[in-house]
């Protein structure tokens, strides 16, 4: 049940779990290629850099070499781990592999903003289903395409990226009509946790499928699951409480009143975005700056940490599935903890929505921004400490889903999908910037060079954190308000009796999405 008696026991479980399954399915379609490619391609001699095959032989010399090196301790038989008896089918060089891996992001960037607009016009349910269907079918066709020409693989991965690009804008739009203000952190945080679950499950499962069945089974399994999921989604999900056939009148009434002035009484969202007002909105710019800083750090971790561990420790995370999953497990757990804490602070009037979002945003960027600096001072003799610091730093990032990443729904629920598309498009560009910054700074792989990388990343994190702390807001913005009200009394009722005869306590009027009036 929701805070202060909010009747969300029925709502939060079905819609939260269905949205969680959405992010889980899409991330399984997104990340399966990283393992599948290792199985598909014949081993290359130059793969000893550890980026794809996890061979730490060269880096052992930097860490002191010998049988006692980190490379030996971490991967006692790295050759067996790399191949698992799989020899590969294709003679694709590193350039081709890089194009295949990066092609996803070209599609991912393209539909962020249009997806938000389409979700407003057609409803998020249909848009999400259609695009996940596209990503699933593209995945199913990939084995046949790979045996024809690698360029067809690139084209299909672009289509998979297109399908994935609608997820966050579409879900933001969906929750803007379903999630009462004091329940948003838990509901949105829970549904987006599927991204971490999908990553944790997909990587080892893809490896198992590759070794036991064959690399093409990876795409058949995940593509097939995606197609089945689309059918289930279309049958169970509804765009708004007004369209839901099974929701009780009391629950519908509670949701309508909690969102009064934020979405229309009919559950519809205007597609006419006030562009000039949005462009001049400092709270929205605070979200964009935070999103950019957060993603810059995320892409630095994602694309370069295996190289860092090879250079400094003589060890690569890619050589051990458990270690590569540990940061995401911490991320996943803390995402729930932060969501629960955020809603608790609001429900008990300890903090307003504005200050709750600021607290969680500072944790999500200031936490890793402070911890990653220590990585630049940890050498070969303390690699376990380095891994621990990495896990802790990435764990803090889970608080973002109760901070700025949900703030679009607070300040402009009518346009949440479009606004998320804008901020996420700008932020996703850092995926092209961060690797180039690292390449410019790290020449020889020395610890001092990596320290400079982490100092730059920490600075970016803290800039985004402080900018949001200064200019972020939790109130509904005037340009996003609607004039209509749900039918009933002008004042919020203290109780509403549903057809089932259960008395449900309703909250006092929420002031523009900013939580109880006596909150800080």
Delimit the domains of the chain by residue range. 14-43+88-261, 276-479
Output 429 or 497, whichever has higher pLDDT: 429
Averaged pLDDT, 514-520:
43
Helix axes 94-110, 416-428, angle to 10 degrees: 150
What pLDDT band is residue 146 in, cutting at 50, 70 and 90? very high
Percent of the chain past pLDDT 90, that is, above it, reads 28
How many CB atoms are located within 10 Å of the residue 24 CB?
23
Nearest-angstrom CA–CA distance, 107 and 510: 39
Helix (H, G, I), strand (E, B) or coil at 43: coil
CATH architecture of residue range(s) 276-479: Up-down Bundle (1.20)
For residue range 224-244, list pLDDT tens digits in order: 999 999 999 998 888 877 777
Domains 14-43+88-261 and 276-479 share a fold: yes
Among 187-191, 335-339, 363-367, 490-494, the least confident range: 490-494
Beta strand 503-505 with 495-497 is antiparallel
Nearest-angstrom CA–CA distance, 427 and 78: 36
pLDDT over threshold 50, residue 466 = yes
Output 65 or 461, whichever has higher pLDDT: 461
pLDDT over threshold 90, residue 369 = yes
Helix (H, G, I), strand (E, B) or coil at 504: strand
CATH architecture of residue range(s) 14-43+88-261: Up-down Bundle (1.20)
Residue 258 pLDDT: 74
Percent of the chain past pLDDT 70, that is, above it, reads 74
Nearest-angstrom CA–CA distance, 99 and 145: 15
For 167, 227, 430, the CA distances from 100, given in Å and listed in that order, are 21, 23, 19
Nearest-angstrom CA–CA distance, 445 and 250: 62
Residues 6+ apart with CB under 8 A from 23: 167, 171, 191, 192, 193, 194, 195, 198
For 275-331, the three-class secondary structure string (H helix, E strand, C coil) is HHHHHCCHHHHHHHHHHHHHHHHHHHHHHHHHHHHHHHHCCCHHHCHHHHHHHHHHH
- Nearest to 215, CA basis, from 36, 87, 34: 36
Q: Phi-psi category of 484—alpha, beta or left, where left has phi over 0 and alpha has psi -120 to 50?
A: beta
For residue range 430-443, list pLDDT tens digits in order: 877 887 788 788 87
Nearest-angstrom CA–CA distance, 435 and 416: 30
Residue 332 pLDDT: 85
Nearest-angstrom CA–CA distance, 77 and 75: 5
Among 360-364, 383-387, 396-400, the least confident range: 383-387
Residue 200 pLDDT: 83
Averaged pLDDT, 363-388:
87
Averaged pLDDT, 455-461:
95
pTM over 0.75: no
Helix (H, G, I), strand (E, B) or coil at 497: strand
Residues 6+ apart with CB under 8 A from 437: 300, 453, 456
Residue 18 pLDDT: 82
């Amino acid at each position: 049940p929701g805070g202060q008696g909010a009747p969300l026991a029925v709502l939060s479980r079905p819609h939260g779990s269905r949205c969680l399954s959405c992010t889980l399915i899409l991330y399984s379609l997104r990340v399966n290629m990283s393992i599948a490619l290792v199985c598909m391609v014949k081993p290359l001699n130059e793969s000893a850099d550890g980026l794809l095959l996890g061979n730490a032989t060269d880096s052992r010399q930097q860490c002191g070499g010998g049988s006692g090196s980190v490379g030996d301790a971490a991967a006692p038989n790295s050759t067996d781990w790399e191949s698992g008896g799989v020899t590969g089918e294709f003679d694709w060089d590193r350039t081709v592999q890089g194009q295949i891996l990066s092609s996803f992001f070209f599609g991912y960037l393209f539909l962020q903003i249009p997806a938000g607009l389409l979700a407003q016009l057609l409803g998020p349910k249909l848009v999400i289903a259609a695009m996940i269907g596209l990503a699933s079918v593209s995945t199913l066709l990939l084995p046949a395409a790979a045996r024809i020409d690698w360029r067809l693989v690139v084209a299909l991965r672009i289509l998979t990226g297109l399908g994935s690009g609608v997820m966050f804008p579409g879900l933001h739009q969906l929750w803007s009509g379903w999630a009462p203000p004091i329940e948003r952190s838990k509901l949105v945080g829970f549904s987006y946790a599927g991204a971490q679950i999908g990553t944790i499950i997909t990587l080892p499962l893809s490896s198992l499928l590759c070794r036991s069945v064959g690399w093409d089974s990876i795409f058949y399994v995940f593509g097939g699951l995606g197609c089945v999921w689309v059918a289930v989604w279309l049958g169970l999900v509804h765009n708004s409480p007004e369209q839901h056939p099974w929701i009780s009148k009391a629950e519908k009434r509670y949701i309508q009143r909690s969102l009064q002035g934020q979405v229309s009484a009919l559950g519809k969202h205007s597609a006419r975005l006030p562009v000039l007002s949005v462009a001049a909105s400092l709270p929205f710019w605070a979200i964009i700056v935070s999103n950019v800083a957060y993603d810059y750090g995320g892409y630095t971790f994602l694309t370069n940490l295996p190289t860092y561990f090879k250079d400094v420790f003589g060890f690569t995370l890619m050589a051990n599935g458990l270690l590569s999953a540990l940061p995401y497990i911490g991320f996943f757990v803390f995402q729930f903890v932060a969501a629960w804490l955020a809603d608790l602070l609001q429900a008990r009037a300890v903090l307003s929505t504005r200050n709750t979002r600021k607290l969680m945003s500072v944790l999500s960027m200031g936490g890793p921004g402070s911890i990653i600096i220590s990585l630049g001072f940890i050498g070969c003799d303390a690699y376990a400490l380095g891994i621990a610091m990495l896990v802790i730093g990435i764990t803090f990032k889970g608080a973002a889903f109760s901070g700025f990443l949900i703030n679009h729904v607070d300040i402009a629920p009518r346009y949440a999908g479009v606004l998320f598309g804008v901020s996420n498009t700008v932020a996703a560009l850092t995926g092209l910037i961060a690797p180039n910054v690292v390449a410019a700074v790290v020449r020889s792989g020395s610890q001092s060079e990596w320290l400079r990388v982490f100092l730059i990343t920490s600075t970016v994190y803290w800039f985004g954190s402080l900018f949001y702390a200064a200019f972020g807001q939790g109130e509904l913005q005037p340009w996003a308000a609607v004039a209509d009200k749900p039918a009933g009394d002008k004042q919020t009722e203290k109780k509403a009796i549903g057809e089932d005869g259960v008395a449900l306590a309703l909250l006092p009027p929420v002031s523009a999405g900013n939580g109880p009036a006596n909150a800080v």
